[in-house]
Amino acid sequence: GPPLRVVTTINGRFVSRGQDKISVFDNALLYAEGLFETFLAIDDRIIFMKEHLQRLYRGAKVIGLKIPVPADRLSQWITRTVRAHPDRITKLRLTITSGESARFVGRQGKPQVILSASPHRMPQVPFKLWVSDFRIDQDSIFRRIKTLSYAIHAAALKQAKLKGCDDALLLNEKNQVAEVTSANIYWVDKGRLFTPPLSAGCLEGVTRKLVIKEAAKLGLKITEKNSTLDGLLKVDEVFISSSLKLVVGVSHLKVDKKTHAIRQGPITRLVSDHFRRLVDMD
């Protein structure tokens, strides 16, 4: 098919294909030193922008990265990049690199702020999840923030696609359910709603926070609870949430050669419909 229409800005300036380059000595490339956020935009509205930027600046403090622009300026850059894209629904990826490495260039370079808007299709059907054999370290401080170090997640996703699944479920080193490669996970058991605690090693998802808050408005209390994989295979409903997917049901969990079907239930539908309304999806 034709190449995807992508609109890119670097440090606030529009760049065309071929000019969208950073230094081969950037620490982001050499050591995955940097941060990223992914936003959903609908009709040029950037969904939950404030919450994403709060997490970004919090992450910058943790890794000692100086973001070269204040949040209000960065949000202007984000809005401008999204507006330049013709599609109604776009995904926007923000990457902040830590700049050229002093070790290789003799001085510490300036962080680069890269924004790219591209077409996005919301998931239409429930997800099949492959249970990955990669494990995440639940005790790492870096599990709290979105650094560029996503090799485990990328490898697990690639593995899942090869197995004919949509995404991969990751367990932590204690064999507890943690997260999906780019989403948080929830389950319904005997009418009650659960999600792993942050101590399980899952990312503190922007959408996760909102699911917990919004579920309360629907009369659903979410309890944070650890679960084994065996426990997850026995529940009534499973769904996932992320900025780009909002809320999507899970229809199958594939473990080795065995595929376990999961019923599509009313609570998943309730939360999913609520989120579509919340962001004016339709």
Residue ranges of the chain assigned to CATH 3.30.470.10: 7-119
What is the predicted pLDDT for the residue at 1? Answer: 63
The per-residue pLDDT string of the chain (282 residues; one tens digit each, 9 = 90 and over) reads 666 799 999 999 999 999 999 999 999 999 999 999 999 999 999 999 999 999 999 999 999 999 999 999 999 999 999 999 999 999 999 999 999 988 887 777 899 999 999 999 999 999 999 999 999 999 998 888 999 999 999 999 999 999 999 999 999 999 999 999 999 999 999 999 999 999 999 999 999 999 999 999 999 999 999 999 999 999 999 999 999 999 999 999 999 999 999 999 999 999 999 999 999 876
Report yes or no: 230 and 211 within 8 Å, Cβ to Cβ: no
Specify the CATH number of the domain 7-119.
Answer: 3.30.470.10
Residues of the chain with CATH 3.20.10.10: 127-278
- Least Cα distance to 239 among 266, 260, 219 occurs for 266
Tokens at 276, concatenated: 């579509």
- Using a cut of 0.85, tell me whether the model's pTM lies above it: yes
Q: Give me the helix-helix angle, 49-63 and 71-83, nearest 10°.
A: 130
CATH architecture of residue range(s) 127-278: Alpha-Beta Barrel (3.20)
Tokens of 229: 């994989």
**Pairing state of beta strands 192-195 and 222-224?**
parallel
- Pairing assessment for the beta strands 127-136 and 246-255 based on DSSP bridges: parallel
- For residue 143, what pLDDT is reported? 86
Please give the structure tokens belonging to residue 37: 């956020």
pLDDT at 282: 67
Q: Which tokens belong to 197? A: 């605690």
| pLDDT recorded at residue 105 | 76
What's residue 3's pLDDT?
Answer: 66
What is the 3 state secondary structure string of the chain?
A: CCCCCCEEEECCEEECCCCCCCCCCEHHHHHCCEEEEEEEEECCEECCHHHHHHHHHHHHHHHCCCCCCCHHHHHHHHHHHHHCCCCCEEEEEEEEECCECHHHHCCCCCCCEEEEEEECCCCCCCEEEEEEEEEECCCCHHHHCCECCCHHHHHHHHHHHHCCCCEEEEEECCCEEEEECCEEEEEEECCEEEECCHHHCCCCCHHHHHHHHHHHHCCCCEEECCCEHHHHCCCCEEEEEECCCEEEEEEEEEECCEEEECCCCHHHHHHHHHHHHHCCCC
